[in-house]
A and B are shown apart, each in its own frame.
Chain A
Amino acid sequence: MPGKLKVKIVAGRHLPVMDRASDLTDAFVEVKFGNTTFKTDVYLKSLNPQWNSEWFKFEVDDEDLQDEPLQITVLDHDTYSANDAIGKVYIDIDPLLYSEAATVISGWFPIYDTIHGIRGEINVIVKVDLFNDLNRFRQSSCGVKFFCTTSIPKCYRAVIIHGFVEELVVNEDPEYQWIDRIRTPRASNEARQRLISLMSGELQRKIGLKVLEMRGNAVVGYLQCFDLEGESGLVVRAIGTACTLDKLSSPAAFLPACNSPSKEMKESPLVHPPSLGCRSTQNSPIHTATGSRLTQNFSVSVPTLIYTGMGSGSAGKEGGPFKALLRQQTQSALEQREFPFFTLTAFPPGFLVHVGGVVSARSVKLLDRIHNPDEPETRDAWWAEIRQEIKSHAKALGCHAVVGYSESTSICEEVCILSASGTAAVLNPRFLQDGTVEGCLEQRLEENLPVGCGFCHIPYDELNMPFPAHLTYCYNCRKQKVPDVLFTTIDLPTDAAVVGKGCLIQARLCRLKKKAQAEANATAISNLLPFMEYEVHTQLMNKLKLKGMNALFGLRIQITVGENMLMGLASATGVYLAALPTPGGIQIAGKTPNDGSYEQHISHMQKKINDTIAKNKELYEINPPEISEEVIGSPIPEPRQRSRLLRSQSESSDEVIELDLSHGKKDAFVLEIDDTDAMEDVHSLLTDVPPPSGFYSCNTEIMPGINNWTSEIQMFTSVRVIRLSSLNLTNQALNKNFNDLCENLLKSLYFKLRSMIPCCLCHVNFTVSLPEDELIQVTVTAVAITFDKNQALQTIKTHVEKSLQRASTDNEELLQFPLELCSDSLPPHPFPPAKAVTVEKASPVAEGNFRNRSAPPCANSTVGVVKMTPLSFIPGAKITKYLGIINMFFIRETTSLREEGGVSGFLHAFIAEVFAMVRAHVAALGGNAVVSYIMKQCVFMENPNKNQAQCLINVSGDAVVFVRESDLEVISTQQPTANCQPLCTGGEVTT
């Protein structure tokens, strides 16, 4: 399918002065694609040239169209010497390659130079004509849509969710040591930018091919990452979930489909041929590990349930056999897949049946031992190994799939930690390619899947549990067993019954390590990892209890390796699930019972902890309805068992049970203070300050307990680097520094955004890196969203009732609801009011929240507003169109750091420029927002002595067109058309 790429250079503005004598510039433009270059005329003596060029036409293969970026270089003509480059614009033309996205790219693009930053703007128009070609052996994958969003995009319907796709490409890094370079910094930066752009194009094309082989048409939850391995190369890798998506043309067209989805699915030609040939290609084959296992692999299946034990009765009467049947069905659908992984974090209703817990695996590798660094085999083998581990962990949890799956790396010199994590889950086979479930079973299954608690029910066999757990009957349906605590990496399911509000919970940990080389270093790291993993979980568990909550969503544990330390940072959103038992408190036990003053101290601490729990319960409005003991059946206490990973404390675990558990009827979680370390831990528990009143925070898409968003949003990135004093570095001091860094950062955010109160920081994403020996860098990206306080109060009042009511509603509703495959918000149509409530809940945007709080559309502003958000939705608005993926990589370097305002000035300007370039590209595609925005990398290096700094930033997201719901009502008769220009110029004021 070759195509014709057409480019027109219209004009420039705000160009820099290139000729000091005249204070003007003689600018012209080079347009390059592949190996073809065109030039415009020189526009003499102007800072605002009007080239108005002819259409430059490139006739190219679509393979090239996918791989190559369009490169536009603006130069200053010089008669006597070489022409000076002003800057460049790279345009990814991928969005033009599939029919439903953008049709033209047209707009002002910032002209970017890696040394000077943005230098003026250029107006460009780009079009692509594709010719149909029935070449069966094609190398391109034009037409496959990519989405960063980790749920089914709003205006689509998932027909089939095929599963995991991954790919990895390797190349030599044009500049593996920036300080010792030979060529000019500009040339080397540009080579690198161009290479990465090419590699991501290639990667995307290859993934697209895999999707086509699987007979899908889209990749959802596409996550692409760079590994700057240094001398061994530059790796670009990506994972995603292949799907077959159907565009929802209008709500009217959608409704019938909703009533008979199974029929729909059978009619779809894509469902029937479960082409077996696909499977072999859907994942790259595991190559024989040339690198061999350099160091021992290490992995943990997260023991979310190890802490307490409860009596176990017999399995639920109806539940048991069905569960087994379901497992068989799912098994058949998933077992043929090499990796039954899904990068999605939110699912169509009914997709997620049960959740087992978090599974994660890490592996330490030595990069300098790769035999063939330019080939992907070794890295492929490494990842395959890790994925196998994850798969086996999931199996151990009685699950056949892993959802909310993600992969990451941390590199320091030649050591690389590969990490993968996800949530073991049992899925409804209806959505999977090979799933052919008989209708009656399907129905009966759903009858037995109570809304709001089904996913909490244990998927594993309670007589043969993978770890010591503490089970009770579900507090919601009373039929099935649930664990007492649940950790997951996914978003809170929209239909989950929740009590109160959620909150951001972080565990932070540092461990010093000796500087070492090669194997010794890798071994040292491998030995530290289990302890870090364990302690991070202990901290999370303690903090969760302290908040009076019983489940974590969106858990992300990042382990970062540095020269002389390891850092662990876990973020998650804590929540009280109505289906799980009330968490017990935290009990402190001393080791030396005879010391009076010591005991006094202990009891003082105990009091403080109890007070904190009580305060938190009030703060997060956690007042679960009282359930009488007879209903649940009295729990039979069992001797507590603890994980093998326990440190010295474990010896005393038997005595502990004798303590007075003052926290009501429920078992309390016991913290033993046997050394100063433990004391520190308890102290650090209490140092986390809750956000100021009016503020909430979470790291998931939706804040549990708040659903009445107003339209004001503010996305931001904040970066902090601290220098540790190299003296007296102890683990404690390090922990304190790190803890303070994170806490202070959060405090600063709350202060800066105070004018938005009441508001919630959503999708708070912390990234830690250790750029140098004594430096710790923390990067945070999040979005602040305002909400309506008055409505919030109402919601809370009715919330508990609602969740209870929902649990007991009749089967009729349950039947209908899970059939909706669409994640889009539906106006409550023919449903009776009671059901409409459920439908509304499915949408992150509360209906009836049409009160227009946005400012009147701004007059005479030439630059349209482009919103950016890490979330997949825009509050108070409806996404009408996805325009394509935005995936941009920038390098900025300076040799005049002081003059640019030092490191802060340099990075501040650079990040502002990156935002500007993202917005410009989105606007040029005809969009007015980026959703699922993520800053995947922000690598900052400085050398203040040389007055130099360099930074690499990689961002991605989905460019979309959205329409305000208030505007939508007005134009509801006219369907949002294909070429819908941004309707909202959004005058919202954010201060």
Chain B
Amino acid sequence: MTNELDIFVGNTTLIDEDVYRLWLDGYSVSDAVARRVRSGILEQTGATAAVLQSDTMDHYRTFHMLERLLHAPPKLLHQLIFQIPPSRQALLIERYYAFDEAFVREVLGKKLSKGTKKDLDDISTKTGITLKSCRRQFDNFKRVFKVVEEMRGSLVDNIQQHFLLSDRLSRDYAAIVFFANNRFETGKKKLQYLSFGDFAFCAELMIQNWTLGAVDSQVDDMDVDLDKEFLQDLKELKVLVADKDLLDLHKSLVCTALRGKLSVFSEMEANFKNLSRGLVNVAAKLIHNKDVRDLFVDLIEKFVEPCRSDHWPLNDVRLFLNQYSASVHSLDGFRHQTLWDRYMGTLRGCLLRLYHD
């Protein structure tokens, strides 16, 4: 006796959160059943393995049918086929678009193309996330990217509106889109210690300050592309390190202000010119796409690593960066105060976030 056909259809679509998670995690029906058995559900409910198998199949079929709608979440709200209470709809969407930290770190900043998709096998092996789940997450990134890439208005708002995600998740997706568009390198070994949250934090600051949208909220793809004019202008900052007098004056202003306040004062004093050169050169190079990609590598190499090797406490880094940014206002010969603030304000925030073990 075999079950040829076995279905259950409710007027209100039944959704089992645990099974949904297993499905999202890319487990096959038999793996999912095995995992459910291990969870002790049979003992709790007195059900048999066959019942569990049938139940899991049913849910998987439902999810499979829902998946098409989840690709365009507003459709899920307007469709008539599945009657799902709004709170459940929100849960379905949010969970579907949720991603694994391990996975996002692998693809963050990569081009969301077929080429990357081919690497998913390796990512799956490396992270232990099933290939199916990797595909779903990758496709989600790509889908969101495609939809909002060339759209006007705030990136986060656009994502929220078209994918009905929570504020938190929309912000994360904004970061992913922003990184993918600018192809920031995040995979290098020295960047491995950074979490997705670190990058997302930086992305948010950059979107707020460095993109076209930061100056004009009516242009296309305003939040995804960096403001080219701004990058161009950044070259002007070079004077801060090229002009020896200006560099010395800057150093003395910072040192005077921080004397006695830093535990690593002498190290700071010794390293000031290196650090300043590093930060200003990063700015000056950003006009080249390649250097934009290497932004985080550069920041780590030029600033984070030197400070870390001298064991700067985080608070000292904060004091230094504050003073370093602020002192420029007192440099009489320097005319690009606004530009400096737009650059350094964001960079300071990023560096503080990136500075950890």
A positions within 8 Å CB-CB of B:
13-14, 108, 110, 118, 121, 692, 714-725, 737, 740-741, 744, 747-752, 754, 775, 777, 855, 858-863, 865-868, 901, 903-905, 907-909, 911-913, 915-916, 919-920, 940, 987-991
Instruction: Count A-B pairs with CB separation below 8 Å.
Output: 151
Q: Does B27 contact A (CB under 8 A)?
A: no
By the criterion CB–CB under 8 Å, are B57 and A912 in contact? no
By the criterion CB–CB under 8 Å, are B64 and A863 in contact? no
By the criterion CB–CB under 8 Å, are B50 and A903 in contact? no
- A108 nearest CB neighbor, chain B only: B80
Task: Report if A920-B7 is in contact (Cβ < 8 Å); known contacts: A737-B1, A987-B86.
Answer: no
Cβ contacts under 8 Å, A861 to chain B? 77, 86
Cβ contacts under 8 Å, A915 to chain B? 9, 11, 83
Which 7 residue pairs spanning A and B have beta carbons closest together?
A: A721-B5, A990-B12, A716-B10, A721-B4, A715-B11, A911-B9, A858-B86
Closest CB in chain B relative to A720 CB, distance in Å: 5
By the criterion CB–CB under 8 Å, are A901 and B87 in contact? no
Q: Does B45 contact A (CB under 8 A)?
A: yes
By the criterion CB–CB under 8 Å, are A859 and B86 in contact? yes
By the criterion CB–CB under 8 Å, are A748 and B51 in contact? yes
Task: Report if A990-B10 is in contact (Cβ < 8 Å); known contacts: A110-B81, A919-B80.
Answer: yes
With A718-B7, A991-B17 given, name 18 new contacts (CB 8 A). Answer: A118-B80, A692-B45, A718-B8, A721-B3, A740-B1, A748-B51, A748-B54, A751-B45, A754-B45, A858-B87, A860-B86, A862-B78, A863-B77, A866-B83, A908-B62, A919-B11, A919-B83, A991-B16
Q: Which of A13, A866, A990 contacts B78 (CB 8 A)?
A: A13
By the criterion CB–CB under 8 Å, are A751 and B14 in contact? no
List 28 A-B pairs, Cβ < 8 Å. A13-B78, A108-B80, A110-B80, A714-B10, A714-B14, A715-B11, A717-B8, A718-B8, A718-B9, A719-B6, A720-B5, A721-B5, A737-B1, A741-B1, A747-B47, A748-B51, A751-B45, A775-B4, A860-B86, A901-B64, A904-B7, A905-B61, A907-B7, A908-B61, A911-B9, A912-B9, A915-B9, A987-B85
Cβ contacts under 8 Å, A912 to chain B? 9, 13, 65, 81-82
Cβ contacts under 8 Å, B78 to chain A? 13-14, 862-863
Cβ contacts under 8 Å, B2 to chain A? 722-723
What 1/0 mask marks residues of chain B from 134 to 145 whose CB sits below 8 Å from any chain A CB? 000000000000
Q: How far is the CA of A989 from the CA of B15 in the complex (A)?
A: 10
Interface residues on B, range: 35 or more
Cβ contacts under 8 Å, B87 to chain A? 855, 858, 987, 989
Interface centre among B5, B47, B51 (most CB of A within 10 A): B5
By the criterion CB–CB under 8 Å, are B81 and A913 in contact? yes
Cβ contacts under 8 Å, B83 to chain A? 863, 865-866, 915-916, 919
Q: Does B79 contact A (CB under 8 A)?
A: yes
By the criterion CB–CB under 8 Å, are B46 and A692 in contact? yes
Q: How far is the CA of A721 from the CA of B48 in the complex (A)?
A: 19
Closest CB in chain A relative to B307 CB, distance in Å: 49
Cβ contacts under 8 Å, A863 to chain B? 77-80, 83
- B69 nearest CB neighbor, chain A only: A14
What 1/0 mask marks residues of chain B from 28 to 65 whose CB sits below 8 Å from any chain A CB? 00000000000000000111101110110110011011
Closest CB in chain B relative to A715 CB, distance in Å: 4
By the criterion CB–CB under 8 Å, are B5 and A907 in contact? yes
Q: Which of B11, B45, B51, B82 contacts A714 (CB 8 A)?
A: B11
- B54 nearest CB neighbor, chain A only: A748
By the criterion CB–CB under 8 Å, are B3 and A720 in contact? yes
Q: How far is the CA of A717 from the CA of B58 in the complex (A)?
A: 12
B positions within 8 Å CB-CB of A:
1-17, 45-48, 50-52, 54-55, 57-58, 61-62, 64-65, 75, 77-83, 85-88
Cβ contacts under 8 Å, A108 to chain B? 80
By the criterion CB–CB under 8 Å, are B80 and A920 in contact? yes
- A865 nearest CB neighbor, chain B only: B83
Closest CB in chain B relative to A930 CB, distance in Å: 9
Q: How far is the CA of A912 from the CA of B168 in the complex (A)?
A: 33
Q: How far is the CA of A775 from the CA of B4 in the complex (A)?
A: 8
Closest CB in chain A relative to B5 CB, distance in Å: 4
Q: How far is the CA of A256 from the CA of B260 in the complex (A)?
A: 96
Cβ contacts under 8 Å, B46 to chain A? 692
Q: How far is the CA of A785 from the CA of B51 in the complex (A)?
A: 21
Cβ contacts under 8 Å, A901 to chain B? 61, 64
Q: How far is the CA of A775 from the CA of B80 in the complex (A)?
A: 33
By the criterion CB–CB under 8 Å, are B10 and A722 in contact? no
Cβ contacts under 8 Å, A719 to chain B? 5-7
Q: Which of A747, A859, A909, A920 contacts B48 (CB 8 A)?
A: A747
Q: How far is the CA of A684 from the CA of B13 in the complex (A)?
A: 35
- A117 nearest CB neighbor, chain B only: B81
Q: Which of A721, A741, A748, A940 contacts B8 (CB 8 A)?
A: A748
Q: Which of A121, A747, A991 contacts B80 (CB 8 A)?
A: A121
Q: Which of A692, A740, A741, A908 contacts B7 (CB 8 A)?
A: A908
- B15 nearest CB neighbor, chain A only: A991
Q: Which of B4, B11, B17, B64 contacts A716 (CB 8 A)?
A: B11
Q: Which of B3, B8, B65, B80 contacts A752 (CB 8 A)?
A: B8
Cβ contacts under 8 Å, A913 to chain B? 81
Interface centre among B15, B52, B86 (most CB of A within 10 A): B86
Q: How far is the CA of A749 from the CA of B87 in the complex (A)?
A: 24
Q: How far is the CA of A289 from the CA of B289 in the complex (A)?
A: 92
Closest CB in chain B relative to A275 CB, distance in Å: 44
Q: How far is the CA of A14 from the CA of B80 in the complex (A)?
A: 11
Closest CB in chain B relative to A482 CB, distance in Å: 38
Q: How far is the CA of A750 from the CA of B45 in the complex (A)?
A: 9
Cβ contacts under 8 Å, B9 to chain A? 716-718, 908, 911-912, 915
Q: How far is the CA of A682 from the CA of B83 in the complex (A)?
A: 44
Q: How far is the CA of A75 from the CA of B143 in the complex (A)?
A: 30
Q: How far is the CA of A433 from the CA of B81 in the complex (A)?
A: 46
Cβ contacts under 8 Å, B5 to chain A? 719-721, 777, 903-904, 907, 940
Q: How far is the CA of A543 from the CA of B87 in the complex (A)?
A: 43
Interface centre among A716, A719, A862, A990 (most CB of B within 10 A): A990
By the criterion CB–CB under 8 Å, are B11 and A867 in contact? yes
Cβ contacts under 8 Å, B50 to chain A? 744
Q: How far is the CA of A754 from the CA of B9 in the complex (A)?
A: 15
